[in-house]
Chains A and B, each alone.
Chain A
Amino acid sequence: MRRLLKLALQKPELAATLLLLLMVLFFQVRSGGVFLDYNNLRGILGFLPEMALVAIGVTLLMIAGEFDLSVGSVFALSPMTMAVLMVAGWSFWPAFLVALLACVVVGLLNGWLTIWFDIPSFITTLGMMFMARSMTVVVSGGFPPRLDFELIPEHLFVAYVGPGEMFRASFLWLVAIAVIVGMLLSRTNFGNWVRATGGFLPAAQAMGIPTHRVKLACFVICSVLAGLAGIIQVLRLGSPLPSLGMGYELQAVSAAVIGGTSLSGGIGSIIGGIIGATLIRVIDNGMVMSQIDGTWFQFAVGALTIFAVVGNAWLRKRGRAMKVETDPK
């Protein structure tokens, strides 16, 4: 029993899970029961995948020991590329693939610059954040293109599906991608390398792990997920704006950190990142539903980030200090 408790206390996503339950309960009471009702829940779940997909990529990359501040700009660049191509007469799937390919290129550039010149990814992706944002405006030509919804397989991305039309199709994308990336991290040798690379780089190199390729792959996955999330948002909204996804890069870092991901790499989990993203969405929505002044939203997210990290560190320390009887041998 104590051993189970010890293991649970050392789980990085524990604090966030507790906080999430607490917040949901709080808003449910505060809003007089409106928060968890069908329509509101449907709204939260419809919007959640867009943020959570970005958070998954950022979490994975942070576990590998690197940052990506360009995800917010890639979030806009990718749907803009797709929309411009479609306006030029391309059909949906080729335009979709080229848009994701653009994300691959951004991810490769981020990774290559960081690794080849041995500079902090904080810097390379900060630069990329501005460059990709600017590219988005350039590509759009100043006028946001309108998507022709006749050409778009909406049912695959944003249409409501499932029992009671509770979820959008994007939620299924989120579940599938979360399971795949989660398994990749915890159940494959690649995941082992990611954790080793971020956990202690010299040891990973000494054990012959191709750390450069591991990081590069994480940069690309992160970029592609941000681009996919952007496309999903645009398909929901109808038209890509060059300002899409602004501020998402830091919200994603917040989500990852709230979910127990360490800034120094190695520690963290995909589910933690998703819980963190959910928490941010719950606060955003819950404040509106319980008629709290919305201008406090950023304050709440900031306070939560700090609180979650402090709480996590404390829980982990308690867990580690907890004595468990050793097997008599």
Chain B
Amino acid sequence: MTDPIIQVKDLHKWYSGVHALKGVSLDINRGEALGLVGDNGAGKSTLINILSGLHRPDQGQILMDGRPVDIRNPKDAMGLGIETIYQYNSMVPIMSIARNLFIGREPLKFSLGGLGWLDLKRMREDSVAAIADVDLHLRSPDALVGELSGGQRQGVAIARAMHFRSKVMILDEPTNHLSVKETNKVIGFVRGLRDQGVTAIFISHNMHHVFACCDRVVAMALGQVVLDKRIGDTSIEEVQDVL
């Protein structure tokens, strides 16, 4: 099963003199759940920030479906179907669920030069449906995201990515600061993605979480990939040893 949806080739990135990525190459296969692990400063975040359009690589190439792509900003990434759910949440706490779901991609009744009139009814209806699709039950689409628990927020973020039919979902430490019960819920979401054919990249410090929901684990250290194995062929101990 080698049908890579994203291929990363010899990626380099320097941050003011620090060589954060030292020639990373990686194939991400269609429909798999890839666990990305590594210590702080290992280059995980740099890699994902490049894939999600927040930073640009200094050297190297990214291919999507075999074609080279240039991801200049988050909008480009989303346009390619790459959606990222960040550690510190990609939601605005003081805004409602319905408005958060459509930030930057609002359905408009009419528009002129990119600005236009919101279709609030559709936003509410679609957000209710999107949230129900990920088996999350919330009171109302008008509730503020700030009033949700950490797990519920990640659920809404995943619902948003699903609603926009993302092909690749990057989850950047989604289980940080969550209770055990909430963590299990998020792990459930990631398993659900695989069933729906969405490729997932799951970043975590916690090996147990990675082994609970991923097909393959990639470990990074000092800006390089140091281990790349299927979950069945390795163990938590082996991964921890190389880090």
Contact = CB atoms under 8 A, between A and B. Distances in A.
Interface of A: 187-193, 195-196, 199-200, 202-209, 266-267, 320, 324, 326-327, 329
Given A189-B116, A327-B140, 12 more contacts: A187-B117, A189-B106, A189-B108, A189-B118, A191-B118, A195-B92, A196-B92, A206-B52, A207-B90, A208-B74, A208-B104, A266-B94
Contacts of B147: 320
B93 interface: yes
A193 B103 CA distance: 7
Interface string B172-210: 000000000000000000000000000000000000000
Nearest to B137: A329
Residue among A188, A196, A200 having the largest count of chain B Cβ atoms under 10 Å: A200
B104 A200 contact: no
Contacts of B139: 324, 326-327
Contacts of B14: none
A269 to B, nearest CB: 12
Interface string B70-104: 00011100100000101011111111000100111
A195 B84 CA distance: 21
A206 B92 contact: no
A314 to B, nearest CB: 18
B115 interface: yes
A191 B117 CA distance: 10
A203 B118 contact: no
B54 interface: yes
B64 interface: no
Contacts of A205: 54, 74
A203 B116 contact: no
A73 to B, nearest CB: 30
Nearest to A206: B90
Contacts of B106: 189, 192
B129 interface: no
29 contacts: A188-B115, A188-B117, A188-B118, A189-B108, A189-B115, A192-B99, A192-B102, A192-B103, A195-B95, A195-B99, A196-B104, A200-B89, A200-B94, A202-B86, A203-B89, A203-B90, A203-B91, A203-B92, A203-B103, A204-B92, A206-B74, A206-B90, A207-B104, A208-B73, A209-B104, A266-B92, A266-B94, A266-B95, A327-B139
A254 B88 CA distance: 32
Interface residues of B, number: 34
A192 B91 contact: no
B84 A206 contact: yes
A199 B93 contact: yes
B103 A209 contact: yes
Nearest to B86: A206
B242 interface: no
A193 B118 contact: no
A200 B92 CA distance: 5
Interface in B109-154: 111, 115-118, 120, 137, 139-140, 147
Contacts of A188: 115-118
A187 B123 CA distance: 12
A61 to B, nearest CB: 17
Nearest to A189: B106
A93 B103 CA distance: 39
Contacts of B84: 206
Contacts of A200: 89, 91-94
A302 B108 CA distance: 42
Nearest to A205: B74
Which 7 pairs of residues, A with B, have the shortest CB-CB distance?
A208-B75, A199-B92, A208-B74, A189-B106, A207-B104, A200-B92, A266-B94
A193 B116 CA distance: 12
B117 A204 contact: no
B203 to A, nearest CB: 15
Nearest to A186: B118
Nearest to A268: B94
Contacts of A267: 94
A327 B138 CA distance: 9
A195 B94 contact: yes
A192 B137 contact: no
A199 B75 CA distance: 20
Contacts of A320: 147
A10 to B, nearest CB: 8
A200 B78 CA distance: 19
A187 B120 contact: yes
Contacts of A202: 86, 88
A266 to B, nearest CB: 4
Contacts of B53: 208
A196 B54 contact: no
Contacts of A195: 92, 94-95, 99
Kindly name the residue among A193, A204, A208, A327 whose own CB sees the greatest number of chain B CB atoms within 10 A: A208
Contacts of A203: 86, 89-92, 103
Contacts of A187: 117-118, 120
